[in-house]
Amino acid sequence: MDAKDILGLPKNSFPVIQEKKPRPPRDSQRRPDGVHREVYALTGGMAPLMPTIEVSHLKRKPTVDKEKISWQWLPFTSSARTDNLQLYHWVRVVNRVPPTGDYSFAKYNKSVEVLKYTDEEYEKHLADPMWTKEETDQLFDLCERFDLRFVVIADRFPTSRSVEELKNRYYSVTRALIVARAPSPADVSGHPLVKEPFNLAHEIERKRALSSVLSQTKQQERREAEILAEAKRIMESRMASKSSEEVELPVTSIDNGGSEKAAAPGESISPSANNNPSSSNVAPPAAAIDTTSTPASLRMLRVYLRTHALEQMVQAVSSTAGMRTIKRVDQTLQDLGVHVKPKVPTKSVCAEHLELRKEILTLLNLQKQLQNKEAEVSANRETSFTEAPGTPKRSYRGDVDRPFIPDSVGFGGERVGKRDHKRKAPGRTMDAPPSPPQSKRPRKLKTSD
């Protein structure tokens, strides 16, 4: 049911209005970020930041003749060969022009430079009872021919010599020649053969150990791994037991008689408890600082930074002092021109730094005790002075015998001013001795008083 049914009107009494067809939506481009609306409306969009066609493309002339590449089977020779052998290979040919020049892989033909010696040099520097000159000449010829490939040289050598013996003979002769031909031994001291000569015994042992490792069976390898694991476990257990057995040594202090007195680790000596504080606050010697001041957590470690250890030792030294005392110690170090943290924290420097901190702490404790003693002496002087044997004690200060009077209320309930308290209280007895004269002039009394 609609409105026409309610009003009783025919449904088709009004002409049908043709509905407008919706226009297809235009492809609207979203305005990019960072571009103002006015600029985007004027340009109708964003102009391209880069040209779409490069200028070089417009100026380039079309290439008519293109490069013609082909592969041809051509002969070649190599300068690395002395027999002028001619071989063939495929070559890339551009525009029917074959490449010229030497073979590209001839530059990798490198050979070892083997020293030559004369008969006079051999008789003077290279003679060896275990080697003849003919064997030495054959060895050097094979070394030059096979580029120090000693396995091949040992196979081609006419007599039965091991690889290690051939190496030892060649390197010893070469080293002797280098030293003999040098103007002075210092000029060739940095040469590898002179600096690190060949060690025959080490080479033999190295090869023996290598052959024994390579010839092991699976069971032997498994057994060796088990032995190494067991050895590692034993070492860890020993380290743990050693660290647990370590106990901090007590700090020794020297008394007046010269005897050493051990203090408990948790015991601290208070400044005012001892009558002679200089004997109890003596710092331990520098040799005992490393063992007594180093925390147990650092002694368990094998490797640690000394700067971190110094911080913990400083905290252990200053554990009984307050924060203000620690700041006074740092200020004293700065006044003395000493760094709070050493720039070069060696063992001796750290020990001296800790000893200096302990001495400064001792000095501050002594100063504090001296102030306390002076305060006690001054208090005793003020309270223990008497004029006669039977007279009561009195003080020179006028406010000692004065009773407490509130600031706001007087004797009769009246409110008095703040300045009225400077007057002498009326509750004092007349027979008490007068107070000492004051330097200020007496103030005039008000009419209300």
Secondary structure in 3-state letters for the chain: CCHHHHHCCCCCCCCCCCCCCCCCCCCCCCCCCCCCHHHHHHHCCCCCCCCCCCHHHHHCCCCCCCCCEEEEEEEECCCCCCCCCCEEEEEEEECCECCCCCCHHHHHCCCCCCCCCCHHHHHHHHCECCECHHHHHHHHHHHHHHCCCHHHHHHHCCCCCCHHHHHHHHHHHHHHHHHHHCCCHHHHCCCHHHHCCCCHHHHHHHHHHHHHHHCCCHHHHHHHHHHHHHHHHHHHHHHHHHHHHCCCCCEEEECCCCCEEEECCCCCCCCCCCCCHHHHCCCCCHHHHHHHCCCHHHHCCCCCCHHHHHHHHHHHHCCCCCHHHHHHHHHHHHHCCCCCCCCCCCHHHHHHHHHHHHHHHHHHHHHHHHHHHHHHHHHHHHHCCCCCCCCCCCCCCCCCCCCCCCCCCCCCCCCCCHHHHHCCCCCCCCCCCCCCCCCCCCCCCCCCC
Written as six digits, the tokens of 258 are 């010269």
pLDDT category at 283 given cuts 50, 70, 90 is: very low
- pLDDT at 101 (0 to 100): 87
- pLDDT at 93 (0 to 100): 93
- pLDDT at 327 (0 to 100): 84
- pLDDT at 287 (0 to 100): 40
Query: What value does the mean pLDDT of the chain take?
Result: 74
pLDDT category at 6 given cuts 50, 70, 90 is: confident
Weakest mean pLDDT among 246-250, 362-366, 440-444? 246-250
Residue of 260, 249, 257, 254 lying closest to 280 (CA atoms): 254
Written as six digits, the tokens of 289 are 């600082």
With a pLDDT cut of 90, the percent of the chain lying above it is 31
pLDDT surpassing 80 at residue 41: no
Q: What is the pTM of this model?
A: 0.37
- pLDDT at 248 (0 to 100): 43
Distance CA 321, CA 81 (A): 87
C-beta of residue 173 within 8 angstroms of C-beta of residue 127: no
- pLDDT at 445 (0 to 100): 55
Burial 302-324 (b: 16+ CB within 10 A, else e): eeeeeeebbeebbeebbeebeee
pLDDT tens figures, 172-186: 999 999 999 998 888
Comparison of pLDDT for 20 and 226, the residue scoring more: 226
Weakest mean pLDDT among 26-30, 128-132, 204-208, 407-411? 407-411
- pLDDT at 226 (0 to 100): 94
Weakest mean pLDDT among 239-243, 340-344, 378-382? 340-344
- pLDDT at 340 (0 to 100): 78
C-beta of residue 434 within 8 angstroms of C-beta of residue 396: no
CB atoms < 10 A from the CB of 142, how many? 22
Query: Structural domain boundaries of the chain?
Result: 69-104, 119-213, 219-245, 286-381
Comparison of pLDDT for 296 and 209, the residue scoring more: 209
C-beta of residue 141 within 8 angstroms of C-beta of residue 148: no
* β pairing state of 69-76 and 87-94: antiparallel
- pLDDT at 411 (0 to 100): 44
* Assigned CATH for 119-213: 1.10.10.60
Weakest mean pLDDT among 12-21, 217-226, 296-305, 327-336? 12-21
**265-278 average pLDDT score:** 41
- pLDDT at 121 (0 to 100): 92
Q: Which residues are CB-neighbours of 444 under 8 A, at least 6 positions away?
A: none
pLDDT surpassing 90 at residue 308: no
Comparison of pLDDT for 348 and 394, the residue scoring more: 348
pLDDT surpassing 70 at residue 263: no
- pLDDT at 252 (0 to 100): 38
- pLDDT at 33 (0 to 100): 80
